[in-house]
Amino acid sequence: MAVPPSLPGSFPAIRLRRPRMQAWSRELVAEHVLSPANLIWPVFIQDGEKLETPVAAMPGVSRVSVDVLVEKAKQAAALGIKAIALFPKVDEKLKSPLADEALFPDNLVCRAIRALKEQVPELGVIADVALDPYTDHGHDGIVEHGHVANDKTVAVLCKQAVVLAKAGCDIVAPSDMMDGRIGAIRAALDGAEHGNTQILAYSAKYASSFYGPFREAVDSAKFLGAADKRSYQMDTANGDEAMREIAMDIAEGADFVMVKPGISYLDIVYRAASGFQVPVFAYQVSGEYAMIKAAGMQGWINAEAAMMESLLSFRRAGARAIFTYAALEVAALLKR
């Protein structure tokens, strides 16, 4: 059967399948690319030596002692990963209502930062600014009369950020969602002669159900109990509010902004990347990672392919960099 003449710009003169026919042409016209340089590796650390403790809810993820961290960081740098983010499991006896351990200049995170900067100086180090690993109630701030006190929490966060900067971290990452903390931390860093320390603001951090495995890994879930963080983390129903949060953090001095979680909030990533001239990062959080891994272990999906597809979707939405627990394995795949 003869094919009728086509109108300009229509089938059959235009066949969009043509560039898809072979691998080389698909790669040639790919609109977005995922590389190891787009990956940030979040790592759980613990006290001790030569320790690597698996996290049950996160297949393939372990808490590691600082000596093991350094060796793994060397692997990450060799694979082309540019930055590592640290999250501590703090010993129960060091937790307190006011998170005093967070301000101790020789705490676990500070020791890890110094070890990394000494032995893997080419790797960027990101330190979380939040109090939940250090509090005996599991909240990200100072609790008074049953509520997290915003301004008192910000005062402590400023001190924590300065302690982390003095230890040598390259980026402090406030993940607490207190109002006004970016401007206050910027002023504190500048006042302490750490004006070159960068700030990654967790600007749109939602009160998500996908954080469960993370809270197991840092051992904060049992302290938080039945309480939740909805009074300070964002309502999952809101998008415009996220744009306001991002705009305020940029105005207060954020160098980068974060959307967290990732897969369920790619619309927020896209809006942020389209609307602001600041790099937008996204976080493939513990629950998102665990779902892909668990489904793969059951044989329901190809976990390797699904992980790559998921991370590429972050890039397509506009994320410059992606926090993912799969960073090492993905970087190795990309190198291959």
Q: List residues with catalytic annotation.
A: 205, 260
Q: Say how many C-beta atoms besides its own lie within 10 A of residue 216's C-beta.
A: 19
Helix axes 286-297, 303-317, angle to 10 degrees: 150
Sign of CA dihedral 152, 248, 139, 107: negative
97 neighbors 136 (Cβ within 8 angstroms): yes
Nearest by Cα to 32 from 286, 285, 311: 311
The DSSP code sequence of 158-189 is: HHHHHHHHHHT-SEEEE-S--TTHHHHHHHHH
Q: DSSP 3-state helix, strand, coil percentages of the chain (rounded to 5)?
A: 45, 15, 40
Structure tokens given for 311: 């991370």
Residue type for position 126: I
Bridge-based pairing of strands 62-64 and 52-54 is antiparallel
Interacting residues of 129 by C-beta distance below 8 A, sequence separation 6+: 157, 160, 161, 164, 172, 173, 174, 175, 176, 181, 185
Residue type at 195 in one-letter notation: G
